[in-house]
Structure 1
Amino acid sequence: MAKKVVRTGISLDSSIAKKLEEVIKKSPELKLDRSEVVNSILGAYFTEIKPSLLQTKETIMKKRKKEL
């Protein structure tokens, strides 16, 4: 029996969208994988941590190196 896939979408709050654009503009090496940036920002947003650009970048780099 085929499994039914349900997709849900989210709309980004303007503050999250601005943060995403800020991270991508200042860190061009992250541009290729926006999903990593979005996941890091959303993760911080939902845990009520407001990440700085540096913290976001460090988190992504650690995940890429499998340190987290």
Structure 2
Amino acid sequence: MTEERDSHAPQRSHVGVHFKCCNVYSHIYMNHDKSAYAGHCPKCASRIEIPIVKEGGSSDKFFTGS
């Protein structure tokens, strides 16, 4: 049986991050003011923030953090 997504739920923009500190992969999400993707390692809580820039930015959806 498959679960259907609620069509009324807002979609949160995210990017994938490989945290080298604990060798784990996780998603981080756009912050409230939409200026960066921010999150933390799910094992050791190491913080990461990836700024969102209008010009000269990246279209990548996967990053590596330390």
| TM above 0.5 | no
Higher strand share: 2
TM-score of the superposition, structure 1-length normalised? 0.29
Structure with the larger RCO, 1 or 2 (CA within 8 Å, 6+ apart): 2
Higher helix share: 1
